[in-house]
Amino acid sequence: MTGLRLTRWVFTIVCLGLGLSGPARADEPAALVQVTYAELANRASGRVTFETVPQRPEPGLAFDQAMRLGALWLGEHFGGQTLVDRDGFDAVTGPPAAPLALRAGQPGANLSVAFHRGFGSNALFALGPKGFPDRGARGEGAVAVLFDSDQAAIGLRIHTDYPDPLGQRAAVRGHADVILYSRNGKVIARHRTRLLLGITDIALRRVGGQSDIAGILIVNDDPGGIAIDDILYQIEAMLG
């Protein structure tokens, strides 16, 4: 074997070794395992229900600043990211800056809370590009959640649209994307869910149980927009 061929062979073996022993890519499914929402709800010590906000019918109350509920903050995106209008929906581009920091949207295009008939309780509406109180803005926006302490599992419930008694709406709606970030702004995993008409439960746990989820970003492309309720998390770390 010539010196050049030997060098190439050694380089290939090293690269293969690194590929096998190195960390998985952030968007590989192995980073997360899906669990049932009921299972996570039984174990979670923290839940944001939005019931501390005065109950108002839609369009509800608009919040132009970051919201503090429980042991977390809610806003539109994270520092370092850019918001763009993609066919009437918020799309977030670019990596967050480190450390992870929450940012609110523009006035009238951040978040709102209203009584939601589908949930039978208050729910969160992320406001899209059309702005509050336009009906076409409710649920078309991005939502960023920043936890006080790093999490090993998170859960939430998403409502797409009210049931259609005439059966004219498709039973399957759009998608919701949940991107999970570490405290230094790195993507841990991306989870994409095909939404159903009504309530879709999402419950995700880190493989290995490590607590490194500092924040999540939620975007969607559902034709009727989405409402969010019952965000699950753990608070033991902040109490210890």
- Domains, the chain, in order of start with CATH, read 26-239 (2.60.120.260)
Between the alpha carbon of residue 12 and those of residues 6, 19, 84, the distances in Å are 10, 11, 42
Contact present, 158 and 171 (Cβ < 8 Å): no
Of 132, 172, 153, residue with least CA distance to 233: 153
Lookup: tokens for 53: 């906000």
Of 65, 69, 45, 181, residue with least CA distance to 122: 69
Lookup: tokens for 12: 């290939």
- Please state the pTM of the whole predicted model: 0.85
Tens digits of pLDDT across the chain (240 residues): 444 443 343 333 333 333 332 334 444 557 999 999 999 999 999 999 999 999 999 999 999 999 999 999 999 999 999 999 999 999 999 999 999 999 999 999 999 999 999 999 999 999 999 999 999 999 999 999 999 999 999 999 999 976 555 566 656 689 999 999 999 999 999 999 999 989 999 999 999 999 999 999 999 999 999 999 999 999 975 443
Nearest 5 degrees, angle CA 228-CA 89-CA 124? Answer: 20
Between the alpha carbon of residue 152 and those of residues 26, 97, 178, 186, the distances in Å are 15, 22, 15, 15
